[in-house]
Structure 1
Amino acid sequence: MAGSELLGLGFEFVEVFAFIVLATVGLAVIFGMMGIINLAHGEFILVGAYATTFSAAAGLPLALAMGCGVLTATVFGLVLERFIIRRLYGRLLDSMVVTWGISLVVVQLVRIVFGNSTPGIGIPFGEVSAVDAPTYYFVLAAVSVAVLAGLYALFMWTDFGVRARATMQDEATARSMGVDTDRMYMATFAIGSALAGLAGSLYAPVLTVTPGYGSSFLVEAFVTVVVGGSSVLVGTILASGFLGAVNAGMTNLAGTFMGKVAMLIAAIVVIRLLPDGITGLLEDVRDKWGGNQ
């Protein structure tokens, strides 16, 4: 394979990996840690994108506009959690129906209020001449890695993380130990909402922002969460890397459409062979290896 082809393949992987991670991580927190099947995840992303687009159109610098997008999505998530979602913990099917209804309502409200088009945002930072592609995609990749590292540090190395994980694993015991479980649920949902808003904000300069914007992220997000398995952060990293490699390789060979098809086929195969996901396999191997010591 020629050097230019290797660069192209590497760029494809970077682009797809960043997209999958940023699309997935907010859903992974809400679904993987809280047991809420949030079919409105795409609309949380949509809220962040619209807030960013209109803030930028109003004259704010892009970074501040993105901050407005994240903040708006966080507030949106908090309002929903306080008035609706908090009644759905532990009710998977109910959460699916309700969040699906929320997604329909949000999309139609956006279409009625803002119409089917929004002001465009130019892609910043210019291009990398070696691959003839926007530098911004490498920025997205760096942000995706930083987000994963930040979440790992938050949930594994802080007192908040210990309390949050205790609440998700055994709410009754956590409450008996003095943990404010209601506040933990609220804070964790806010984090997931903020991450969804971040994805929408970061991709507002790249993708056309329309009322159906969130659907561009939804399939990859759910597929990655299921393929990753029960361990939210490790599963997201491994599944994003695996699916990104499959997508990038096939895209490089046969185009974008076939890249997505190959990724979905790979996901189906993994789910069929590993019903507990990639991290479920790793846990089984660890348990067997540990039991043989």
Structure 2
Amino acid sequence: MSLIESLFGFLILALSHFGKLALIALGLAVIFGIMGIINFAHGEFILVGAYTTAMGYHAGFPLLLAIFVGGLAAGIFGLIVERLIIQHLYDRLIETLVATWGVSLIVIQLVRIQFGGTFAGIHTPLGSIQYGAFSASTYRIALAGAAIVLFASTYAIFMYTRYGLHSRAAMQNKEMAQCLGIPTKRVYMKTFFFGSVLSGIAGGLIAPTVSLTPDMGTNVLVEAFVTVIVGGANVIVGTSLAALSLGIIQAPASMLFGTLGGYLALLITTVLLIRVLPEGLTGVVE
């Protein structure tokens, strides 16, 4: 393989990894950044979105509509979890972590009982692109564009809507926001719903690229947490920069050592970055 082909392959793989990392981390970053909640069931919200998208697609829905339905289903599921469990555990980090872990285990078993060990997947659309000996899925590259659109939409919501103003106030100083008449509990409810929708959309978007199994949420959870930790406090800037940086690092490792090598490079880089930059990439930007 020539140098140009290798560079082309690196660029495509970096975009692919960036798109996946950014998509699966955004919903988690929104909930953690605004509410300070570690949602250990984040992978299962992605699972709900992916399975609902697949069911809608096999029922005859266009893929984009099926992805939207998957996001809405995950949002409704998240709203139910927030009303039944999360709202009673605000400001109790460890209890919230344990409770969402319990939700995760329950969802995995329910999905396994209802659908079995595997579920009919979605054919990857858009074909492939090829340069020399290197070939890659066009859809995986398109995921990077979808991630940029979701990040831009999230930024617009937080910066130019009343909900965004209230959520930023609650994030910076919850007590002062309450004194100013901002209903922080309602803001948190909307935030959990919004983060769940983003997770469900991410699940629908990556559904054509992964095997649909009850454990798929667990498989992406580590990557999502790693990206959020490396990104730091800023939901948009930190998470996007972390996804891009980790994607650039994971790409050559995957090319040289396979998928396992890419994961190891991801984890090693995260440990080193946390050691050097305890506030994440957000601290560097600020």
TM-score by length of 1: 0.93
User: 1 CA distance for matches of 2:284 and 2:120?
Assistant: 46
Match of 1:212 in 2: 215
Q: What is the CA distance between 1:157 and its match in structure 2?
A: 3.0
Does the Cα contact within 8 Å between 1:36 and 1:88 map onto a contact in 2?
A: no
Q: Does 1:36 align with 2:37?
A: yes
* Structure 1 residue 161 corresponds to structure 2 residue 168: no
Report the AA paired with residue 268 of structure 2. I
State the match for 2:281 in structure 1. 278
In the TM superposition, 1:132-147 aligns within 5 A as 132-147=135-150
Give the C-alpha shift of residue 178 in structure 1.
Answer: 2.2
For 1:87-126, what aligned pairs fall within 5 Å after superposition?
87-126=88-127
Residue in structure 2 matched with residue 64 of structure 1 by the alignment: 65
Offset from partner CA, 1:223-250 (integer Å, 9 cap, x none): 1111111112111011111111110122
Aligned-pair CA distance for 1:103: 0.3
Q: Is the 8 A contact 2:227 2:242 kept in 1?
A: yes
Q: Which residue of 2 aligns with 1:24?
A: 25
**Following the alignment from structure 1 to structure 2, what is the Cα–Cα distance between the partners of residues 280 and 2?**
36
Displacement after TM superposition at 1:24 (Å): 0.3
Structure 1 stretches lacking a partner, 5+ long? 284-293
Q: Which amino acid aligns with 2:49?
A: G
1:199 aligns with 2:196: no
C-alpha distance in 2 between matches for 1:9 and 1:162: 40
**Residue 255 (structure 2) aligned to one of 246, 249, 252:** 252
1:256 Cα offset (Å): 2.1
CA contact (8 A) 1:32 1:225 kept: no
* Higher alpha-carbon deviation: 224-233 or 249-258: 249-258
The residue type paired with residue 191 of structure 2 is T
Task: Tell me which residue corresponds to 1:290.
Answer: none
* Percent of aligned pairs with the same amino acid: 48
Q: 1:48 touches 1:70 (CA, 8 Å); kept in 2?
A: yes
Coordinate RMSD, CA, aligned = 1.3
Q: Deviations over 1:175-214 (max 9, x none)?
A: 2222222221111111100011011101111111010011
Whole-Å separation in 2 of the counterparts to 1:59 and 1:3: 41
Q: Which moved more, 1:84-93 or 1:157-166?
A: 157-166
Flag as ranges the 4+ runs of structure 1 deviating above 6 A: none
- Separation in structure 2 between the aligned mates of residue 29 and residue 144 of structure 1, nearest angstrom: 14
Aligned partner of residue 129 in structure 1, secondary structure = strand
| Aligned-partner SS, 2:209 | coil
Equivalent residue in structure 1 for 2:184, among 178, 181, 186? 181
Amino acid at match of 1:167: A
TM-score, length of structure 2 as denominator length? 0.95
Which amino acid letter does the alignment assign opposite residue 181 of structure 2? G
Q: Give the AA of the match of 1:10.
A: L
Structure 1 residue 282 displacement after superposition? 3.4
Could you tell me how far apart the structure 2 residues matched to 1:194 and 1:49 are?
A: 12
Partner of 2:265: 262
1:134-157 per-position Cα deviation (integer Å, ceiling 9, x unaligned): 211122110001111111121123
Equivalent residues of 1:125, 1:136 under 8 A apart: yes
Unaligned runs of 5+ in 2: none
Shift of 1:160: 2.0
Q: Post-superposition shift, 1:158?
A: 2.7
1:5-36 alpha-carbon deviations (Å, 9 max, x no partner): 11100001001000100010000001122111
Deviations 1:98-143 (CA, angstroms, capped at 9, x unpaired): 0000100000011111111212211111111334222111221100
Pairs aligned (count): 283
2-structure distance, mates of 1:66, 1:223: 25
- In the alignment, the residues of structure 2 paired with residue 268 and residue 202 of structure 1 have an alpha-carbon distance, to the nearest angstrom, of 29
2-structure distance, mates of 1:79, 1:39: 16
Amino acid at match of 1:125: L
